[in-house]
Structure 1
């Protein structure tokens, strides 16, 4: 099979469609912010990536399955916050029911007011649904991440307009990265970041797995320096997601990893969003996630790997839904 020399870029029309959708969506209402105390945010997949936004406010984010299937609530937890766009993710609903039965405060972040998750919660933070066609989804995360920020007390009213304005920058960034990717797929991918991009970096990992069907892992920056130095010599792609902090360390580590034969690409996220917008750090994290979905789609095209394994995977998701 002959591989294309360059992937199809993220088209301007796709960017315009998402921009229009963002401008039409009402901001997430903060209302009366719940008293969270020591909160633990739980979700699965994309929803867990959204929950990582809360770690910037001193809360924790863990897999809903760790709570549900170990049948153990997190220690030192006053409030359990369940995140699910559909409100039907089995582990998340089960975790929230456990918390409520134990007398903990429960909060749901969902787009569905009439859902098992919402029915279980003491308080519900509804998020709008972004109706836009997308092959590798990111719209749900865009709204759930804002819901998490709202529950943490952030005024999200400027977010959608600011994100809409940033999408052209995201597209340019992604296109520039796709054109310098290797023409054939690596054996595996590592995504390196600092905590300021923990949500967006986790989303890159998820989307690269979904779109490319490769083994992908997220790695804290310094841990990569201690461990990833030994990866090789098989083709391995390392992606550094660089924010405002730690740039000299990223650069020094990049030099070291290249000496071991790794292919390394640096993605600068600092210019994706306007730094003067309120909540700029959260906006940058969300925009980074959007870039990850678009990058994963483009990488799949470049490497000839149809997203979601080209229909080979059963997508009804019954194995992760709440039991009827």
Structure 2
């Protein structure tokens, strides 16, 4: 397994962010009531749009359900490569139904871009990664741009958070249980739902464990039944709901669960423009680095050490 090198990872991502061109808002139509759609990491990016009053759905729900969501004016498809099969099909389904379509991608010459009325281009971040997050950072900024956020400063603002992110992850890894749990839950409120979803994806990829993203109150209603096998609950704390997180953590610990509170509220100064988006993206970076560190601590090589077929043909658009 590749060793964890927090300083190297931090410095490499910081250089990539500062060296990349900013996301420039494209000429997209008035969204009206929009649904942002993608799969995997791209669905986590789509969830950023929910903070701006839009909806996020898995591309497979649209494509394989063969039904467009009600009260929808625009479908926004998200895929870095522009070749994710369900996302391309979802955009084509929307286009054929007469809805407005937007693609968020880094590939202007791609099936996704060809299926859209407008394209929001995002740059690729040039950084070597074991457990990847750079694609999400770019796509999520594309989502923010389509939602009307001024994204010109986001790369530099995110780069400024990385020292704090590194310190947070280091302290959380120190507190981590020494043995891998049977499964992991990540608890969140809507302000960090995108970041929490990304934590889950990275924990699965890096550690090969079942993980889930749970709305805070739903965990309070059902999760005390989990056991007796070892279970790790990670509470992703933002600026809201602190007393409820604390009360639930106490309750879950009485059932034998390991609970860690991961406070990302201080990663970004709250009065800065776009602070909510930057905090969510900084949380996603923290989740990536935490997942890699957990895999090292538990002796579980990321992506199961090459034991998994990674050609991903089953999710690409077939000819």
The TM-score range, normalised by the shorter chain, is over 0.9
> Which of 200, 208, 212 is matched with 1:213 structurally?
208
Q: Distance in 2 between matches of 1:208 and 1:75?
A: 33
Q: Is the aligned partner of 1:305 residue 2:300?
A: yes
- The TM-score normalised by the length of structure 1 is 0.96
Q: Distance in 1 between matches of 2:12 and 2:29?
A: 34
Partner of 1:150: 145
- Whether the 8 Å contact between 2:28 and 2:102 is mirrored in structure 1 is no
Q: Distance in 1 between matches of 2:229 and 2:37?
A: 36
> Which of 120, 137, 147 is matched with 2:132 structurally?
137
Partner of 1:196: 191
Q: Distance in 2 between matches of 1:10 and 1:265?
A: 23
Partner of 1:4: none
> Which of 97, 102, 114 is matched with 2:92 structurally?
97
SS of the counterpart of 1:183? coil
Partner of 2:13: 18
Q: Distance in 2 between matches of 1:129 and 1:259?
A: 46
Shift of 1:205: 0.5
Partner of 2:70: 75
Shift of 1:179: 1.0
Pairwise CA RMSD: 1.2
Partner of 1:116: 111
Alignment of 1:236-315 (within 5 A): 236-315=231-310
SS of the counterpart of 1:271? helix
Gaps of 5+ in 2: none
Q: Distance in 2 between matches of 1:315 and 1:50?
A: 22
Q: Distance in 1 between matches of 2:5 and 2:163?
A: 10
Q: Is the aligned partner of 1:227 residue 2:222?
A: yes
Shift of 1:31: 4.2
Q: Distance in 1 between matches of 2:290 and 2:268?
A: 17
Shift of 1:72: 1.1
Partner of 1:168: 163
Could you list the per-position Cα deviations for residues 282-309 of structure 1 after superposition, in whole angstroms to 9, with x for gaps in the alignment?
A: 1100110111111100000100100000
> Which of 164, 173, 180 is matched with 2:175 structurally?
180
Partner of 1:3: none
Between Structure 1 and Structure 2, how many residues are aligned? 318
Could you list the per-position Cα deviations for residues 202-232 of structure 1 after superposition, in whole angstroms to 9, with x for gaps in the alignment?
A: 0001110111110101111111111001112
- Whether the 8 Å contact between 2:28 and 2:119 is mirrored in structure 1 is no
Gaps of 5+ in 1: 1-6
Q: Distance in 2 between matches of 1:89 and 1:176?
A: 37
Q: Is the aligned partner of 1:320 residue 2:315?
A: yes
- The TM-score normalised by the length of structure 2 is 0.98
SS of the counterpart of 2:65? coil
